[in-house]
Chain A
């Protein structure tokens, strides 16, 4: 069962068609850098929130000291691939995401990929997300694990 995070509420039918169990909506299911029960915090703003409410940390660059801190707190690291998908500086974005993934796996962090899509034009299907995970260097099993990391909301509930 695969998961994603988006800035808008994705229709249930489309979610199923794309192959996801759930696409979390920022502002509805989870909050981004705002107080709430299920917070996704940007790495540099981690200290602002209660650790128990943070379900994942959004990361966009390699910071080994921070990765170690995330590991100690047993939080999920969420790699934001929105820049990669929007097709700006493709090679640079690819290398950044690849480095984050490589370092996070090396340290033993629980990793997840998310599109953080602003609209439907920036979403990808689960099949595509799996291929992106492999493109970033994950093997088949790891890629499935990455997409199956469900931000622990179900567990908390």
Chain B
């Protein structure tokens, strides 16, 4: 019987144009996202809100190989006139935060 391998993930750092409480607006956020990628796309991407690391900085986890679709779809998502910018992608949260701190310094 074929084994279903564990799904590998990627982490994406997203910045909002204004401070927003994403935790309480998640279903709206995913509804907006699915407008562009559809329900199948959403299932394939399996986006998961990991945590907020700043006033406007958020980390999302998505299925590896679907980064591009997520980044593209995010370009069109607006929530209460707040836009979301995909800044960095990485395989681990630790390296994502490290890369972000380096980017902020430069």
Partners in one complex: yes
Identity of the chain A residue whose Cβ is nearest the Cβ of B70 in the assembled complex: A131
The reply to whether A127 and B17 contact each other, CB–CB distance below 8 Å, is no
How far apart sit A87 and B15, CA to CA, in the bound complex (Å)?
19
User: Taking the nearest CB of chain B, how far is it from the CB of A86, in angstroms?
Assistant: 9
Contact of B44 with A by CB under 8 A? no
Contact of B85 with A by CB under 8 A? yes
Identity of the chain A residue whose Cβ is nearest the Cβ of B81 in the assembled complex: A121
Using Cβ atoms and an 8 Å threshold, which residues of chain A touch B15? 17, 125
Given A16-B103, A120-B18, A123-B85: A131 in contact with B76 (beta carbons within 8 A)? no
The reply to whether A121 and B104 contact each other, CB–CB distance below 8 Å, is no
Q: A19 contacts which of B18, B76, B87 (Cβ < 8 Å)?
A: B87
How far apart sit A25 and B90, CA to CA, in the bound complex (Å)?
31
The reply to whether A87 and B78 contact each other, CB–CB distance below 8 Å, is yes
User: Taking the nearest CB of chain B, how far is it from the CB of A87, in angstroms?
Assistant: 6
Identity of the chain B residue whose Cβ is nearest the Cβ of A127 in the assembled complex: B86
Contact of A26 with B by CB under 8 A? no
The reply to whether B68 and A123 contact each other, CB–CB distance below 8 Å, is no
We find that the number of chain A residues with CB closer than 8 angstroms to chain B is: 22
How far apart sit A124 and B87, CA to CA, in the bound complex (Å)?
10
Contact of B75 with A by CB under 8 A? yes
Contact of B74 with A by CB under 8 A? yes
Contact of B72 with A by CB under 8 A? yes
Contact of B71 with A by CB under 8 A? yes
Given A17-B103, A17-B104, A121-B17: A85 in contact with B87 (beta carbons within 8 A)? no
Contact of B43 with A by CB under 8 A? no
Q: B72 contacts which of A18, A123, A135 (Cβ < 8 Å)?
A: A135
Given A120-B83, A128-B85: A85 in contact with B106 (beta carbons within 8 A)? no
Q: Can you add 7 more A-B contacts, CB < 8 Å, to A132-B72, A134-B72?
A: A120-B83, A123-B83, A128-B74, A128-B85, A129-B75, A131-B71, A134-B68
Q: Can you list 15 A-B pairs with a CB-CB distance of less than 8 A?
A: A16-B103, A17-B104, A84-B76, A121-B18, A121-B78, A121-B81, A123-B85, A124-B85, A125-B85, A127-B86, A127-B89, A128-B74, A128-B75, A129-B75, A131-B75
